[in-house]
Structure 1
Amino acid sequence: MLRPVISPKRETLHLRIKPAERDLIDRAAKAKGKNRTDFVLEAARAAAEQALIEQRIIMADPDAWPGFLARLNLAPAP
């Protein structure tokens, strides 16, 4: 017996924006072939991930720091 596909529950996010901003978002979404919701969610998710990546703190013992920096400068493995 086939089971129905159930999408994960989605929450609602209300935003207050100026009409010109909404028009800009709508035009950009249309240019990408997306609806407003998908366009805004994709952009917001990417910005959120980047903001969190930038907040990562790397701590190292002062004696280990030069070695850490040297490893960062190595060419990536193939």
Structure 2
Amino acid sequence: MPRPAVEDNARMSIRIKPRDKATIMRASMLAETDMTDFIIRTAVKAAEELIEKAETTLLTERDSIRVLELLESPPEPNERMRAAARALPLKE
């Protein structure tokens, strides 16, 4: 089970195999930076790319046009949609 994020702790501790550490050390030297900076930059870049991919939906031109058409002229709600709307809690 994942641990909850700790907002007040900037320190992170990881276990790493010696071979992996050697690879990271070599890469950080080639990048002319220290290991901490290299690991953070690499991890943050990978995290941002993963988040972007997960939160982005690519549409074909045909699908994009269809979405715009539906936004401009939405269809009348059917009975299932009306039932779903009735089931929503009322906001005050």
Displaced runs of 4 or more, over 6 A:
none
The alignment of Structure 1 onto Structure 2 pairs a total of residues equal to 57
Identity of aligned residues (%): 25
Give the structure with the higher percent helix: 2
Larger RCO, structure (CA 8 Å, separation 6 or more): 1
Q: State the superposition RMSD in angstroms.
A: 2.7
Who is 1:17 aligned against?
A: 16
Query: What stretches of structure 1 of length at least 5 have no aligned partner?
Result: 1-8, 70-78
TM-score (normalised: structure 2): 0.53
Give the 5 Å matches for 1:1-78: 11-58=10-57, 65-67=63-65
TM-score (normalised: structure 1): 0.62
Instruction: Assess, with a 3 A threshold, how the Cα gap between structure 1 residues 65 and 41 changes in structure 2: closer, same or farther.
Output: same
